[in-house]
Amino acid sequence: MSFLVENQLLALVVIMTLGLLIGRIRIFGFRLGVAAVLFVGLALSTIEPDIAVPSLIYVVGLTLFVYTIGLEAGPSFFTSMKNTGLRNNALALGAIIATTALAWALIKIFNINAASGTGMFTGALTNTPAMAAVVDSLPSLIDDTGRLHVIAELPVVAYSLAYPLGVLVVILSIAIFNAVFKINHKKEAEDAGVAVQELKGTRIRVTVPNLPALENIPALLGLHIIVSRVERDGEQFIPLYGAHARIGDVLTVVGDTEELIRAENAIGELLDGDPYSDLELDYRRIFVSNTEIVGTPLEKLQPVLKDMLITRIRRGDTDLVASPEMTLQLGDRVRVVAPAEKLGEATRLLGDSYKKLSDFNLLPLTAGLVLGVLVGMVEFPLLGGNSLKLGNAGGPLVVALLLGMVSRTGKFVWQIPYGANLALRQLGITLFLAAIGTSAGAGFRSAIHDPQSLTIISFGALITLFMSLTVLIVGHKVMKIPFGETAGILAGTQTHPAVLSYVSDASRNELPAMGYTSVYPLAMISKILAAQTLLFLLI
């Protein structure tokens, strides 16, 4: 232990390594994941309180974590606001407000210390950035600097006590209500149109007259397909903008099985045979690594992609049918249909360089972080002379959401490659948890022997249960949201990926992810603000 006290870097990497190893252990089907790093840091610093990691480490880690989340969630967050996003966020925001009111009442009635009570609230809602915001806010609220160090430990200790049940109670609530409501996840996915379907290509002979222009067929006929090529009088060609199909043309159409059946009914008759067996037009999967084309809608790239057509986009592990308004991201793998001699040009245009992608430009990342930190420093005045600010968690998150939506500004590509995003996110949260865990060892040691610790654990579990019941019952039974999506909203409201992982494994469809991503950003910001507001009201 003395060796770790003398070597802060060694202490940091030991805590990270042990935490990540323990986090992989599955107990009753549940594992802590990266959150185990926090408890390893707490355990070691409880045994030896002089083990410490510089506070700058947790600030850097937290900022990286929320910024990379915002970049990835930005496009889907703002897109969801056009359909179900407002409904989902109203549910999440209402639940957070109600839960904050309950926490205030419990803390007041049972005379729990304000710093501990607010830490309990953030642990019950499993929101690490909110806890960090509470710690950051304490210096401006406490004048007695001699007591500040001791008091600053209290939110971290209470957070650590409430956190485990903050995860477990949510998962148990979802499991119980899944059985009580007798949920058929497969039918829910089919009814919502998100059942997992393999994308296929087929050939359809046009028998319906006066069809819309080929690029408008999906939108005007309500089909989620793309026409990748046209055969006419024995020749094949890529459909040009504004081109119309004629009676007798043979269209190669890409979509899932259900959409292809609907396309057959709307366009003509299905033909047998492999649509890709000929050699006149070929296709290739190409890796997107050219920053010049990232962030531009496909319809605007069409002049550059002359005689070429992107039909599918694989992002992460998901295949998407390409549509004119979609934009490419670094790391996408796209399927390009073109004459064989054009595929080399398509490869050069899109990049297809894993090495170049790995060596991504750090300048937009650091510039975005500068903007985020500056926004986080802006103070919003409150009654009583206090002020509220987004801090090192909320500021970078808000900026990242906006930059993720914009995608690029001139030569600056704000998005970072998918793999790099995940790596930076994991590194950020691990650094943060390791550093913040060691900051509360002495306080945790005394809390173990303090009867009030049981109170914090119990009330923390009650707060988590209230949040879970509010979202699940109101969302599914009152607002008639599919249960899988409602459970995803709960996971997003809790801002905990372990809950999303559990729900996704149980449902095996995209509904939980849809609910999660639609509310996660606003829930993160709302809980950061709610935790600071609760602290202001209590002190």
The CA-based angle 422-426-431, given to 5 degrees, is: 150
Using alpha carbons only, how large is the chain's radius of gyration in Å? 26
Q: Per-residue DSSP letters for 91-141?
A: HHHHHHHHHHHHHHHHHHHTT--HHHHHHHHHHHTT-HHHHHHHHHHHHHH
pLDDT of residue 162 exceeding 60, the answer is: yes
Q: Distance between CA atoms of 207 and 228, rounded to whole angstroms?
A: 18
Name the burial class of residue 243, with classes exposed (0-12), middle (13-18) and buried (19+) by CB atoms within 10 angstroms of its CB.
middle
Q: Distance between CA atoms of 484 and 468, rounded to whole angstroms?
A: 14
Helix orientation angle between 145-180 and 128-141, rounded to the nearest 10 degrees: 150
Q: Distance between CA atoms of 502 and 481, rounded to whole angstroms?
A: 19
Answer for the pair 17, 430: CB distance below 8 angstroms, yes or no: no
Answer for the pair 217, 206: CB distance below 8 angstroms, yes or no: no
Name the burial class of residue 66, with classes exposed (0-12), middle (13-18) and buried (19+) by CB atoms within 10 angstroms of its CB.
buried
Residues 361-412: pLDDT tens digits?
A: 788 899 999 999 999 888 877 655 666 777 787 788 889 889 988 888 887 8
pLDDT of residue 275 exceeding 80, the answer is: no
Q: Distance between CA atoms of 254 and 442, rounded to whole angstroms?
A: 61
Q: What pLDDT score does 279 carry?
A: 47
Q: What pLDDT score does 486 carry?
A: 95
Reference 55, options 139, 143, 121; nearest CA is 139
Contacts of 247 (CB under 8 A, 6+ apart): 206, 207, 209
Q: What pLDDT score does 88 carry?
A: 93
Q: What pLDDT score does 299 carry?
A: 80
Helix (H) or strand (E) holding 334: strand 333-339
Cut 0.85: pTM above it? no
Specify the long-range contacts of residues 454-457, CB closer than 8 Å, at least 24 apart. 455/110, 455/112, 456/112, 456/116, 456/120, 456/158, 456/161, 456/162, 457/161, 457/162, 457/165
Residues 78-89: pLDDT tens digits?
A: 777 777 888 999
Q: Distance between CA atoms of 240 and 31, rounded to whole angstroms?
A: 52
For residue 239, report the phi and psi dihedrals to the nearest 5 degrees.
-65, 125
Number of H helices, E strands in the chain: 22, 13
List C-alpha distances in Å: 209 to 76, 213, 214, 266, 345.
37, 12, 13, 10, 36
pLDDT of residue 173 exceeding 50, the answer is: yes
Residues 430-453: pLDDT tens digits?
A: 888 788 778 766 566 666 677 778
Q: What pLDDT score does 432 carry?
A: 82
In order of their start, the domains of the chain are 196-357 (3.30.70.1450)
pLDDT of residue 30 exceeding 90, the answer is: no
pLDDT, averaged across the chain? 82
- Structure token digits, residue 296: 């531009």
More confident residue, 101 or 505: 101
* SS3 state of residue 197: coil
List C-alpha distances in Å: 218 to 234, 253, 256, 308, 462.
25, 10, 13, 19, 49
CA 292 from centre of chain? 26
Residue carrying the six token digits 């920053």: 291
The sign of the dihedral angle between the CA atoms of 453, 455, 458, 460 is negative
Residues 493-507: pLDDT tens digits?
A: 998 766 776 787 677
* SS3 state of residue 345: helix
Q: Distance between CA atoms of 213 and 235, rounded to whole angstroms?
A: 19
Which amino acid belongs to residue 310?
I
For residue 204, report the phi and psi dihedrals to the nearest 5 degrees.
-130, 125
List C-alpha distances in Å: 442 to 135, 210, 467.
16, 77, 31
